Amino acid sequence: MKIEIEDLFYLYESGDETVVALRGLHLEVESGECLVINGPNGSGKSTLVKLLTGFYRPTAGRISIGGLDLAQIDPLRLRREYVSSIDQGGNLIGELTVLENVALAFTLAGKSVSQSRTLAGELLDRHGLGEIFRRFPNELSAGERQLGSLLTALATNPKILIADEPSGELDNQAADAVYALIKSVAGETTVVLVTHDSRAESFADRVVRIRDGRISEEWFPGEKETSVIDPLGWMRVPDKQEPSSSRIPSALRPVLAHEEVVLRAEHLDLRYGEKLIFRQFDLMAAAGELIALSSSSGTGKSSLLRILAGIQNPSAGNVYIGEQLLTDLSREDRATLRKKSIGFLNQGDGAVARISLRDHLGSTASELMDSFGSRMNRPLSGFSGGERARIELLKILSECRPILLLDEPTSQLDERRSQEVVERLLDYVGAGALVIASTRDETLLTRADRILDLSAT
């Protein structure tokens, strides 16, 4: 089924601002085509996905599928009969077992309840998930969850499949399985993949890039030439930006002697059940160093950071903070150590939502008034995801801890903000802090002193 998008606009309110997420986007996807869409953070990819799946209504412009105007189709019917989608976290419903999730899709497609169960069981068996279909999603691995989500999406024989970062949290093996399944349906089903993963490009028919709400470039896998679609209308982001007046203010500078070893990991092993994540990982990290952890999903980057922060225990090995053996400390003492010495940023930290920004930032509030002005008294839930990510980072930086462990610090930021963050971190490192960040951000990776690939361990 063909997808036609004409002059698509989507605007929304974020605080006092109106954000133009899509600004006159044009796109056509042929019936049966497999299209990959990528682009920097905040470029409008997720917004486009939500518009194609009927969760949002366009502010202006038109989307049609198979000649039908999406505005004329009930969103539930759209998702039931035409468009299936999956996203990074998987879409299995937590209250239903895997079998029940897939069977539900068959039922919605018109099968009887008993027929649905039989078909679901056969489908899961065919894809090697026969042993797990009585389990609930929270009992599955990330890969099993994602495969289950994909099978649920495909059970309805959708005309269009939209996958938003389907391999985002998966290890290589799981990601391979997911892409293999997607590839198997491409051709019969129109597939739109939003991803940075190069595996997707290997079987895609075409790749487009979105920048600032418009299609900017397009290319065909295997071909070197990239077509610039819209050279004048979109805003390119400069490679290097001058500091802006609204940049994050400088943090107070921690005083540490450069090159002093502040963190040491020895022979760390990590296993989840029978599954080995990494083994014999060693690390000596010194003050004034920026270390990037970069490897594919599922290699244990987040877990490593948690081990280094003392939040999680390794299966084997030791961690030293200075001369203090971390694994010897009680949970209480580790918290005390973190309060003094380790700042930790969890991925997507939106744990605090209802208290005001002023209350959340506490004593540093007076220094940050310029940044947020009258919005200081707004609850955190009133800020966008990107702003909250900035706020958390800002908070951690303001606490002046000598060691920072950051999990994907720029994942929710647009390119401009990402560059600002990287500059700040570099400032912080320059003041003598140790920063270890798990990241896919190209800018951060290029500025890091060291890049560690956990998949090698």
Partner 1 sequence: MRLLSWKLAYARLRRYPLHAISVAVVVALAVISLFTLQGISHSSSNSLVTYALSKLPGGDRALTISSNRIFTSNAEYSSIDRYLAKNLSGLTSAGLAREVLYHEVSDSHGVGFYFGGVDALVSRVHLKSGRLPAACTPTRCEVLQVGGQNGAAPHPDSFGLIVVGVGEFTDNRIFTGTFAPSPGVPILVADGIAVVSSMPSVGNFQGSDGWIGEINLKSIERDGLENYRNFILAFENKVSLDHRGLTLTWPSDALAEASDKSSALVVRLVLLSYLVGALLVAFLVLLSLRQKDQHFRYRSGLSRIGTPKKTLAEELVIENFVPLVFGLAIAVSFSPLIPHVLNVMHFHADLTQIYHGWERNFLLVFAALALTSGFAILGDQAWLRRAWIPFLLATGLLYAYFAASGEHEPRVWAIPLLFASMPVVLSYLALRWLSVLWRRRSTNRYILIRENLGMWQGVAAILTLTTLLAVITLSFESGIQKSVIIQAQDEVPLDVSVKTSASLVRPFDLGGITDYEHILAGSSAYPVLRIGSSIRGQSTAADSLSLIGVVPASLARMTSPDLQDLSTLIKPMSAMSEPGLNIGAGSRLDVKLATVPKEIDLIGWFRTPRGMHTSVTFTGHGALRTLLLRGRIPSDSILVGFELRETSDYLSRRLHAQGEGSFSVPVLRGVASILKVSIDGRPQVLSNQEWHLINFPYVFDGGRFFVRPIWQISIPRVAVDPVTAALARNGVLTLAGGNSIDFQVRVGAVQNFFPSAGNRFVIMNIGELQQVISRNDPGAIDPIEVWVSTPNPVLYLDRVKSSGFHTLLIQSRTNALKEFRVDPLNVGSDGSYKIALLFALVIAFIIHSTALPLLRKESAELLFYLEVAGVGPSSLRKALRKALRFTLFIGIVVGFAIGLSVSRFYISQSTPFMTMALSVLAAVALSEVGGYFFTRKFFAESTMVGAS
Can you give the binding site for partner 1, defined by CB under 8 A?
Answer: 53, 76-81, 84-85, 91-96, 100, 104-105, 107-108, 113, 136, 152-153, 156, 270, 306-307, 309, 311-315, 330-333, 335-336, 338-340, 344, 346, 349, 351-355, 359, 362
Task: Give least dist CB 27 to partner 1, A.
Answer: 23
Whole-number minimum distance, CB 44 to partner 1, in Å? 20
Closest distance between partner 1 and the C-beta of residue 110, in Å? 10
- DSSP assignment of 191-254 equals EEEE---HHHHHH-SEEEEEETTEEEEEE-TT---EEES-TTTS-PPPSS-PPPTTSPPPPPPP
Nearer to partner 1, 165 or 415 (CB): 165
Other Cβ atoms within 10 Å of 398 Cβ, number: 20
Exposure letters 49-76 (e unless 16+ CB within 10 A, then b): bbbbbbebebeebebbbeeeebeebeee
CA atoms of 144 and 170, how far apart (whole Å): 9
Residues in the chain, how many?
457
Q: Quote the least distance from Cβ 64 to partner 1, whole Å.
A: 19
- If the CB atoms of residues 198 and 336 are measured against partner 1, the closer one turns out to be 336
* CB of residue 155 to partner 1, shortest distance in Å: 9
Cα end-to-end distance, the chain, whole Å: 45
3 state SS of 172: helix
In the bound state with partner 1, the residue whose beta carbon lies nearer, of 79 and 301, is 79
Nearest partner of 340 among 400, 289, 286, 291, judged by Cα: 400
Distance CA 396, CA 339 (A): 11
Q: How far is the CB of 136 from partner 1 (least distance, A)?
A: 8
Closest CB to partner 1 among residues 137, 213: 137
Considering the complex, state which of residue 215 and residue 380 has its C-beta at the smaller distance from partner 1: 380
Of 230 and 359, which has the nearer Cβ to partner 1? 359
Dist CA 200 CA 37 (whole Å): 10
Report residue 36 as tokens.
């990959």
Strands ordered across the beta sheet of 275-286: 275-286, 261-272, 316-321, 324-325
Nearer to partner 1, 218 or 359 (CB): 359
Which residues fall within 8 angstroms of residue 308, CB to CB, at 6 or more apart?
A: 263, 265, 319, 405, 436
Gap between the Cα atoms of 378 and 365, Å rounded: 13
Q: Checking phi first, is residue 294 left (phi over 0); if not, alpha (psi -120 to 50) or beta?
A: beta
Q: Distance between alpha carbon 241 and the CA centroid of its chain, in Å? A: 25
**Closer by beta carbon to partner 1, 35 or else 92:** 92
| Least Å from the CB of residue 307 to partner 1 | 8
Q: Which of 431, 436, 456, 404 is nearest to 284 (CA)?
A: 436
Smallest gap from residue 363 Cβ to partner 1 (A): 9
Least spacing, CB of residue 89 vs partner 1, in Å:
11
Residues 6+ apart with CB under 8 A from 442: none
Question: Measured between alpha carbons, how far is residue 134 from residues 104, 111, 119 in Å?
Answer: 14, 20, 15
> Of the two residues 76 and 228, which places its CB atom closer to partner 1 in the complex?
76
Q: Which is nearer to partner 1, 85 or 167 (CB)?
A: 85
**CB nearer partner 1, residue 344 or residue 428:** 344
User: CA of 104: how far to CAs of 132, 249, 312, in Å?
Assistant: 17, 51, 37
Shortest CB 138 distance to partner 1, Å: 10
Beta carbon of residue 76, minimum distance to partner 1 (angstroms, whole number): 5
CB 312 within 8 A of CB 405: no
Distance, in Å, from the CA atom of 290 to the CA atom of 145, rounded to the nearest integer, reads 34
